[in-house]
A and B are shown apart, each in its own frame.
Chain A
Amino acid sequence: MTAITAHALTKRFGGRDVLDRVDLSIAPGSIYGLLGRNGAGKTTLLKLATGLLRPTAGEVRLLGDDPGEGPAAAAHAVGYVAEQGALPGWMTVGQVVRFERSFRRRFDASRVDAHVRRSGLAPGARIQSLSKGQRRRLELELALAADPGVLLLDEPFDGLDPVMRAEAMEEVVALVARADAAVLVSSHVMSDLERLADRIGVLAGGRLAFEADLDDLKESVSLLFGPADASRHPLPAAAEVIASRTGRGGEQIHLVKGLGPDEETALRGQGVQLTRPGLDELGLELLRCLSPEEENS
């Protein structure tokens, strides 16, 4: 059984499709990274998955149930870290811990208590008095302590210092290894996803424009900078163009999958500039190619 499934999932706000017929399937024990520019629909997708938003069309299922109206048992098995933080500011750290413990069957309070002590948080401190990083780290810790079968993370590392960031990522990976959890994590930053995800998807214009296994991407994608007239340098038949765009100087930029060493050498011989991009550069190019206008939309 898949842990997270979306089928033709559509969400419309004010006549505009923020998500448009998205299909997604995430198996237990895997981490799916969602990449996209501002306004691409990442938060909308995650809110639909938690049941905070209701779909305009299509459906989403977590562990087989409709989030938001499914049986309460499903809610026990889902952890969620919201982009803007969800913990009520008027609650104290201690109240939040006690409250969440009362709802989670497998909640490991000692783990959260240890985090609270380690971070120097006072149990009587109000959530609104914590820094952004402390709030996010606490929220993530609460989600992890519930030992969820599904973890939904919306920009979870935003605002964390490098140490907190590294620890948080390690704990997410440990959860997946230990509990066979499925994780859907959104980010603007490819390097975050590189350390976590098995598979990534790029949301652009409300559609899931691209999906691939991360290992596959790392090993087989080349970045080509060619002259404006692409017909002068036809790509080999085995090569698959993932995405293309026109650079500022009019040059054609392609992300190409499946080029062998011989083919790369031949293309270089024709004057085509070709590199094997790092994941950060790859992520950046994917976003540039697939959603050039997102931020203005």
Chain B
Amino acid sequence: MWSLIRFEALRFLRHPRAWLIMVLFVVGNSLPLHFSDRLEIGFVWFAVLLHALAGFVGAMMVAQARTPGGGTDVAYLLSRTGTRSRVLASRWAWFVIVAAALTAAQAVAFGARGKLSPHSRAAVRWESLPAIEAATGTPAETEPGDLGLYQLAQKKGRSTEFLRAHVELPGAAGTILALMFLALVIGFALQAAQGPATDWDWSRMRSPVFHATWVPLAAGILVLLPRTGAAAKERVFLAAHFHLGAVVLAAVGVIALYGWLGLRQWRTADL
């Protein structure tokens, strides 16, 4: 199995376009999260969606690699090394390693800015404070400057929509990293679910699995649309943060579902 994983690593590194795109997607869309010393919750969903796309696009570009004679790497692997299940398992293992490495790099960047500290602060909407206080059981400590601005806006009857409170949200960085990691793996899973055939063929449009692979990405884009509202996005993040176990379980369910669809595709596909 290690040799197969090593093969996956070699083929991945031999395709700089694929991993450069992944790194650009992952780092580029996470930059807003890294800029400030505080976690900007408003950018989280954008980063998470782009992580899923990074996994999907990166895996797709590597999967399209062909041998000089026109065969695919998968055809070579299968003719040499064993069963389709093993080839798919090694690919999955490599996906998880890549996702872990990219997430670890993000964690290092977060750590360098002090965001992994239990006392690190996150920027949230003032309307979210009651929910945070209810979940943590302690009063949220806001910064005096933030509070002053908020009170001034209220006093003058101005909108507070764009004002943020910087409060301690222990483990928020961990939640963001977990969501990014899961999004990457889901992106990989969606690509793998399309099966080993990489050539475009209109007959693939007839496959329900082909369409099903776009459902999570489409859902992610819907969440990101402006009309979903910043408040709703933040509420979803806070719910995910305070119920991370349930989110992980749901994500594992999605990964398992698409993993199973992928295994079925791989077992029956012609190479």
- B68–A127 CB distance below 8 A: yes
A40 CB to closest chain B CB (Å) equals: 18
A291 at the interface (CB under 8 A from B): no
Interface string of A212-229 (1 = CB under 8 A from B): 000000000000000000
- B68–A85 CB distance below 8 A: yes
The stretch that binds B, out of A98-106, A167-175, A188-196, is A98-106
A91 at the interface (CB under 8 A from B): yes
Residues of A within 8 A of B80 (CB): 75, 80, 86, 99-100, 103
A52 at the interface (CB under 8 A from B): yes
B104 at the interface (CB under 8 A from A): no
A8 CB to closest chain B CB (Å) equals: 19
Residues of B within 8 A of A70 (CB): 83
| Cα A102 to Cα B2 with chains together (Å) | 9
- B67–A89 CB distance below 8 A: yes
Interface size class of B (residues with CB under 8 A): 20 to 34
| Cα A51 to Cα B80 with chains together (Å) | 11
- A84-B71, A89-B68, A90-B65 known; A69 vs B269 contact (CB < 8 Å): no
B86 CB to closest chain A CB (Å) equals: 6
| Cα A99 to Cα B83 with chains together (Å) | 16
A68 at the interface (CB under 8 A from B): yes
| Cα A190 to Cα B42 with chains together (Å) | 71
Residues of B within 8 A of A103 (CB): 3, 80-82
- B11–A88 CB distance below 8 A: yes
B230 at the interface (CB under 8 A from A): no
B57 CB to closest chain A CB (Å) equals: 19
Residues of B within 8 A of A88 (CB): 11, 65, 67, 73, 76
B223 at the interface (CB under 8 A from A): no
Q: Is the interface of B mostly helix, strand, loop or mixed?
A: helix
CB-based A-B contact count at 8 angstroms:
90
- A85–B7 CB distance below 8 A: no
| Cα A42 to Cα B131 with chains together (Å) | 68
| Cα A257 to Cα B75 with chains together (Å) | 42
- A68–B84 CB distance below 8 A: yes
A72 at the interface (CB under 8 A from B): yes
Q: Is the interface of A mostly helix, strand, loop or mixed?
A: loop
- A72–B86 CB distance below 8 A: yes
A273 at the interface (CB under 8 A from B): no
- B270–A86 CB distance below 8 A: no
Q: Choose among B11, B68, B70, B75 the residue that contacts A128 (Cβ–Cβ < 8 A).
A: B68
Q: Choose among A72, A83, A87 the residue that contacts B76 (Cβ–Cβ < 8 A).
A: A87
| Cα A179 to Cα B239 with chains together (Å) | 65
A115 at the interface (CB under 8 A from B): no
B146 CB to closest chain A CB (Å) equals: 54
B141 CB to closest chain A CB (Å) equals: 55
- A75–B71 CB distance below 8 A: no
- A99–B3 CB distance below 8 A: yes
Q: 4 shortest A-B CB distances, which residue pairs?
A: A84-B69, A85-B69, A102-B3, A75-B82
20 contacts between A and B (CB under 8 A): A50-B78, A52-B78, A52-B271, A72-B81, A72-B86, A75-B80, A82-B71, A84-B67, A85-B71, A86-B75, A87-B76, A88-B11, A88-B76, A89-B68, A95-B10, A99-B3, A103-B81, A103-B82, A127-B67, A128-B68
